Amino acid sequence: GDSVTQMEGPVTLSEEAFLTINCTYTATGYPSLFWYVQYPGEGLQLLLKATKADDKGSNKGFEATYRKETTSFHLEKGSVQVSDSAVYFCALSDQNGQNFVFGPGTRLSVLP
Amino acid sequence: NAGVTQTPKFQVLKTGQSMTLQCAQDMNHEYMSWYRQDPGMGLRLIHYSVGAGITDQGEVPNGYNVSRSTTEDFPLRLLSAAPSQTSVYFCASKGQVHSNQPQHFGDGTRLSIL
């Protein structure tokens, strides 16, 4: 079945450091890919998405590129802030749109 | 536009009690789903619905029932609560079933079973 693998956390960075959170997936056909962010005590919020190969999703300084050849969707940000401290989930939706699969989440802590 | 609303936000139950977690969306979305979130396990799908009157099981359906009598509401029922059901529960929805739209999430219900 479909699956999503994320790098294990927690990840601790200093403010203004570069962030990469790795995400790889296994799916048949052409899934859509998402990054969600969860702040403490809240639900998941969509951060960015990409729906076909080579698409780049971006939002709030975060970027991720849909790489079909490596089945990856790594999240990057050039300069993190304390306010980016949260849990980040990589997810896919199968090409039928009915099956959503989430990775286990990566906790990010940014220190001032 | 409230989006996805879950009630209650917190609940403590005793083993064997029953309760219903409420979920409502005001976006006229076809697809609705329930997940549970446990430490280190991400989100696991409990049940989902592709429209009023239609529900189906997800990855971890045992111990939970759902119904979808209207487009807006998708309650999750625990018939006889067990400590293993202590978790954070999220309801989510998206507009069209067969689309690449993202899901919209509620703020969650934190449930403890003693």
Each residue's pLDDT, cut to its tens digit, for chain B (114 residues) gives 679 999 999 999 999 999 999 999 999 999 999 999 998 778 999 999 999 999 999 989 999 999 999 999 999 999 999 999 999 999 999 998 888 889 999 999 999 999
For B:31-50, CB contacts with A below 8 A are: 31, 33, 35, 40-43, 45, 48, 50
Least Cα distance to A14 among A76, A80, A86 occurs for A80
The helix/strand/coil state of B111 is strand
Give the number of other CB atoms < 10 A from CB of residue B1. Answer: 4
What does the pLDDT average to over A27-49?
Answer: 93
Task: Kindly report the nearest CA distance between residue B66 and chain A, in angstroms.
Answer: 17
Residue B5: exposed, middle, or buried by beta-carbon count in 10 A (0-12, 13-18, 19+)?
middle
Structure tokens at A83: 């306010």
Whether the CA torsion B52, A35, B45, B37 is positive or negative: it is negative
Which whole-number Å values give the CA distances from A25 to A17, A73, B46, B89, in the listed order? 26, 8, 21, 24
- Please give the residue of chain A at the shortest CA–CA distance from B50: A98
Q: CA-CA distance, A63 to A61, in Å (whole number)?
A: 7
Nearest alpha-carbon partner for A7 in A73, A94, A81: A73
Q: Which residue in the set B98, B105, B106 is minimally distant from A97, CB to CB?
A: B98
pLDDT of A53 higher than 70:
yes
DSSP state of B11: E
CA distance B109 to chain A (A): 10
- Compare all CA atoms of chain B with the CA of A47 and give the residue at the minimum distance: B102
Does residue A45 sit at the B interface (CB-CB below 8 Å)?
yes
State in Å, rounded, how far the first CA of chain B is from the last one. 36
Size of interface A-B (CB pairs under 8 A): 48
